[in-house]
Structure 1
Amino acid sequence: MNWKLAYAIGFHPWEETDLDFFQSLASLLEREEQGREPPLGRALDIGTGSAIWGIELAKRGWEVSGVDFVAKALNRGRERVQAAGVEMKIVQGDVTRLSEAEVGSGFRLILDTGTFHDLDIEQQHGMARSVDALATQDATVILLCWPRRIRPLIRGVSREEIETAFSGWEITDVEPSFFKLPPLLEWVLRPDEHWYRLRRA
């Protein structure tokens, strides 16, 4: 996916999610938050785009940093953060070189709602190494991934590719996201996205 072009022409259907998708993510977050009170710790929103999900994390009591390389998306994100009245650090940077992006460290939660599955193999490994270096020992990684198949726009990723990239982590849960697109895009792209929850092995 050419993310810069998509935001430049106003094509960002992933911002229009429905209640089923929201609840699927909320149930995963509740699992991480169980028995804890805010502040919940540091969270990193990878490929934050216009910060929709980073804002939700902040509302729930996480100390959130969001990183993306698309300036227009980040400008939209800053406006959303201000309108929402929450605290969220927004950084422009390469998700495969997070330490260079100066997002910080000590993250208990890493959320990616659609970046990893569009990277090539080398980039996937770079992102995974970056996450590994910045995450706490008890951290959780939550990835939203399309399956690997031939389609336009999105590359997709297999479970084996996730396991290979995150070699020091274990996939503990795979759950449907219930993400939907407008009918024509749904037919063309066949998203069938799933949440992958990872913990250190």
Structure 2
Amino acid sequence: MDATRTFYRVAYRVGFHPWEDLAGHAPFADSLGRLLDREEQGREPPFGQALDLGCGSAVWGVVLARRGWQVTGVDIVEPALRRARERITAAGADMRLVHGDVTELRRSHVGTGYRLVLDTGTFHGLTAAQRAAMGREVDAVATGDATVILDVFAPRRRGPLPHGASRDDVERAFPSWEITDVATADTDPDALARALRFDEHWYRLRRR
């Protein structure tokens, strides 16, 4: 993951992290909110353990914690985790952070028993081998009734930005899971997103 790690390390160092703004972008935030509503329907908080893969500065981990999930965020980029610690403190949120690799979750000691696994932009930047490793690790740490939610760009070269992934890529990485839903992640992308043709979708997966 060296190239991806380097990109994000440099991006955070120079203050380039536009993905953090998505929490305030209603078309994206609302689409994720509807997926989370589905997982919480008929239940009372606390809803269980949630794992935020590639949590970055904990934008979405804090959202999950406020909704009533017991959240662990894992990321390999230390500058992002420093921002995450600041965000969690400022929000007064209860969220655990782990400095670790999404392709080696067990070695990173994130624990097990996750009912929800959320990835808002890590999977689509990995190589095929790394995606398969991430899938195996999620298998190992998620509960039998868990849900995985992935935010995925359509496959296309975009310079140093994530190249995206297809539905087939998702299915290959998660062979013991079934894609139950595919939803548009951003119904009103900005000019840059349109130019880069992110064509961004949520994939909801459940164990077969």
Q: TM-score range by the shorter chain?
A: over 0.9
Taking the aligned partners of 1:48 and 1:189, their CA distance within structure 2 comes to 23
1:64 matched to 2:71? yes
Within 5 A, what are the aligned runs for 1:69-108?
A: 69-108=76-115
**Shift of residue 95 of structure 1?**
0.6
TM-score normalised over the length of structure 2? 0.93
> Is 1:174 the equivalent of 2:182?
yes
| Residues in 2 aligned to 1:32 and 1:39: alpha-carbon distance in whole angstroms | 12
4+ residue segments displaced more than 6 Å: none
Q: Which whole-Å deviations, capped at 9, do the CAs of 1:109-128 have from their partners, x for residues lacking one?
A: 00000000000000000100
Kept in 2: contact 1:63–1:88 (CA 8 A): yes
Q: Which moved more, 1:37-46 or 1:13-22?
A: 13-22
Provide the C-alpha distance between the structure 1 equivalents of 2:193 and 2:109, rounded to a whole number of angstroms: 37
Question: Over aligned residues, Cα RMSD in angstroms?
Answer: 1.2
Residues 8 and 72 of structure 1 are in contact (CA less than 8 Å); yes or no, is this contact kept in structure 2? yes
Task: Judge conservation of contact 1:13–1:181 (CA < 8 Å) in 2.
Answer: no
- Offset of residue 182 of structure 1: 4.9
1:140 aligns with 2:147: yes
What 5-or-longer segments of structure 1 have no aligned partner? none
Percent identity between the two aligned chains = 56
Q: 1:53 aligns with which of 36, 60, 68?
A: 60
Deviation at 1:23, TM superposition (A): 0.6
Aligned to 1:170, the other structure's residue is in SS state strand
Give the Cα separation in 2 of the matches to 1:146 and 1:197: 14
- 2:14 corresponds in structure 1 to 9
C-alpha separation in 1, matches of 2:193 and 2:169: 24
Tell me how far 1:189 sits from its aligned partner. Answer: 1.8
TM-score (norm. length: structure 1): 0.96
Q: Is the Cα contact below 8 Å between 1:44 and 1:107 reproduced in 2?
A: yes
One-letter amino acid matched to 2:157: I
Contact 1:97 1:127 in 2 (8 A): yes
Asked if the contact 2:27/2:188 (under 8 Å) is kept, the reply is no
Deviations 1:75-94 (A, max 9, x none): 10011101111100001101
Give the unaligned 5+ runs of structure 2.
none
Contact 2:104 2:133 in 1 (8 A): yes
Q: Matched residue pairs, number?
A: 200
What does residue range 103-142 of structure 1 map to in structure 2 within 5 Å?
103-142=110-149
Does the CA-based 8 Å contact 1:179-1:192 persist in structure 2?
A: no
